[in-house]
Amino acid sequence: MNVHAIRAIYVFELARTWRTLMQSIASPVISTSLYFIVFGSAIGSRMAEIEGVSYGAFIVPGLIMLSVLTESVSNASFGIYLPKFMGTIYEILSAPVSTLEILIGYVGAAATKSVILGTIILMTARLFVDFTILHPVWMVAILVLISVTFCLFGFIIGIWADGFEKLQVVPALIIMPLAFLGGSFYSIHMLPTFWQNVALFNPVVYLISAFRWSFYGVSDVSVVVSVGMTLVFMIGCLAIITWVFRTGYKLKA
Amino acid sequence: MTLAQPIVSVSRVSKAYASGFQALKDVSLEIRRGEIFALLGPNGAGKTTLINVICGIVTPSSGTVVVDGHDIRKEYRAARSAIGLVPQELTTDTFENVWSTVKFSRGLFGLPPNPAYLEKVLRELSLWDKKDSKILALSGGMKRRVLIAKALSHEPRVLFLDEPTAGVDVELRRDMWNMVRRLAKSGVTIILTTHYLEEAEEMADRIGVIRQGEIILVEDKVTLMQKLGQKQLLLELREPLSSVPAELAALRLELSADGTRLVYTFDSRGEATGITELLRRLGQHGIDFKDLHTKQSSLEDIFIGLLRDGHAPPISRPAPRADGAARESQGAAPGRVQG
């Protein structure tokens, strides 16, 4: 294992986060704060409790997921796309590093950023609403699992993208709508039966459900199914990335 | 591993792109340990593709490459650890500073941090003062040095320089040549591609010529110049001639337009160059000269000839060189020229 290479990529990538602090951390925190002010405090105070949880507290896990999912995909895709765009990818391709080491470096850094972001949003939310975390260890574990999985997905997007537009398309046009419709602001049990069934095809439903369970012990779908679905998605991403490096798809001529 | 073994061995490597373009055709090449090897060829000949195949950036369609005794596919870690690459394009981490990008390269190639070594590399490349500067703010020449520093940061045993002096000024080019010589002296094998034939002529121990994806020649530089080069003897006449005397026609003499110079072309490898006979017969005809020079085909002449029709051409006009030196050697006195 080329530990020095993993460390080099990880530190190099994380350094980019500190250089772009406003874009990386401050921007999502500000937008999440606005959600809490509007949906949590203003509208939330007029909403009934959902499954015994105040509306303001209910949306906390969903809003964290909303940011974590979009930022994981954005950060990881940008992390690998930038060297492709600048041409510095030659150094990664010619270095004595394995696919796994490259992944640990890039995805590890992007996931670290997502977890930091999730934690900051969690602390910001605490300023607006009162909540408790029933299963803190599971909360951290699920946050890490989802961050890593969506960073892997973002890594694939970054390899696939051949322009900045494609980088923006997936988080903005796919992840964001799925997160909004996946129960960030409501329980899918509040939907008519038909739409409840449709919602089950939305993978983000399972992620938010599992994460919310770690907070309040309530979930839209079984936690085991949620974690299982996430793991399946993760394995799928790993398989695609392995294929990408084996064939050199969009990386090697 | 012995010194006699080539440090890079390319065996029957071909590369066809998805478009059908055949960039490399059954290329075989061996690079000797510690030498400076210049790979010459026109644009699109396959120089960069060959380098990229050796470095692992391009996957060959067929063939094998062994670097320092390690197959680049089966033992890619050991093979790649030995290689430093300075790419042709100025591809840098624009938003990083010099120090962090060089430190990154060292770590990427599996070496522990060594600030003292990196400082030495940056000082040798006159980059130490710029270590905290953003690469974005550097000139093209400085960016080129950063790329070299990155390649040297992991102490490679083989250094590929793909058009290292493209677009750099004469001073920087000289600096780079000196650096390449120092590296070669320290045991690093250098493989460079260049468009500047004077660079190959000045630096290389051996020269390879690639054309349309095929290696058409690999030769020791001195031998190449001797084998394919032609020599001319230029005689500056005391009195201009209106024409070459008919009795001297068999000697293949050419007279300059103003009649003040006689040019005699000869094969320097031959048993007898015919110079003694020429001088004797000129004396018989009362043709006196005040000075003489010899002139040899430049590598550029040879290269152009090889690319055009597979053999060296006649000597062209004295080619202007970047350092202003003419490609002529001065004969001290007629009596010292041996036939």
Number of neighbouring beta carbons within 10 Å of residue B226: 14
| Sheet of B83-86, strand order | B83-86, B158-162, B189-193, B36-40, B206-211, B214-220
Taking residues B269-287, report their average pLDDT. 81
Q: Which band of pLDDT confidence, cut at 50, 70 and 90, is reported for residue A203?
A: confident
Does B95 contact chain A (CB < 8 Å)? Answer: yes
User: Angle, nearest 10°, between helix axes B221-228 and B299-309?
Assistant: 70
- Which of B57, B83, B112 faces A252 most closely, judged by CB atoms? B57
**Over residues A153-157, mean pLDDT:** 91
Phi, psi angle pair for B29, to nearest 5°:
-160, 140
Domain coordinates of chain B in residue numbers? 8-225, 229-336
Residue B321 is predicted with a pLDDT of 34
Question: Where exactly are the structural domains of chain A?
Answer: 3-247
Residue from the list A8, A90, A248 with its beta carbon closest to the beta carbon of B91: A90
In chain B, what percentage of residues exceed pLDDT 70? 82
Within chain B, how many helices (H) and strands (E) appear?
10, 15
Secondary structure letter of residue A219 according to DSSP = -
Q: What is the pLDDT of residue B339?
A: 30
Minimum mean pLDDT range among A36-40, A124-128, B287-291: A36-40
User: Which residues in B lie closer than 8 A to residue A106 (C-beta atoms)?
Assistant: none
A206 Cβ partners below 8 Å, 6+ apart? Answer: A221, A225, A226, A229, A230
Mean pLDDT of chain B: 81
Residue of A nearest to B92 (CA): A88
> Measuring CA to CA, which residue among A140, A132, A119, A144 is closest to residue A58?
A132
**Do A88 and A95 form a contact (C-beta atoms < 8 A)?**
no
Q: pLDDT band for B14, please (50, 70, 90 cuts).
A: very high
Q: Do A253 and B107 touch (CB under 8 A)?
A: no
Is residue A216 a contact partner of residue A237, using CB atoms and an 8 Å limit? no
CATH of range B8-225; options 3.40.50.720, 3.40.50.620, 3.30.300.10, 3.40.50.300: 3.40.50.300
- Tell me the per-residue pLDDT of B70-82, one tens digit each, with 9 for 90 and over: 999 999 999 999 9
The per-residue pLDDT for B300 is 65
Cβ–Cβ gap B104/A8 under 8 Å? yes
The CA-atom distances, in angstroms, between B276 and each of A46, A192, B247 are: 114, 110, 16
Over range B210-214, report the average pLDDT.
88
| B102: pLDDT strictly greater than 90 | yes
Model pTM score: 0.77
Q: Which two tokens stand for residue A136?
A: 């803190």
Buried b (16+ CB within 10 A) or exposed e, A143-182: bebbbbbbbbbbbbbbbbbeeeeebeebbeeebbebbebb
In percent, the amount of chain A with pLDDT more than 70 equals 98
Instruction: Please name the residue of chain B whose CA is at the shortest distance from the CA of residue A91.
Output: B105
pLDDT of residue B268: 64
Read off the pLDDT of each residue in B127-149 and give the average, rounded to a whole number: 88
* B41-60 residues touching A, CB cutoff 8 A: 52, 55-59
ipTM above 0.85, yes or no: no
pLDDT tens digits for A164-189? 888 888 888 888 888 888 888 888 88
pLDDT at B334: 30
Report pLDDT for B324: 33
Name the burial class of residue B112, with classes exposed (0-12), middle (13-18) and buried (19+) by CB atoms within 10 angstroms of its CB.
exposed
Report which of B128, B103, B127 is spatially closest to residue B115, judged by C-alpha positions: B103
Taking only the tens place, the pLDDT of each residue in A87-129 is 888 999 999 998 889 989 999 999 999 999 999 889 888 888 8
Nearest chain A residue to B111 by CA distance is A4
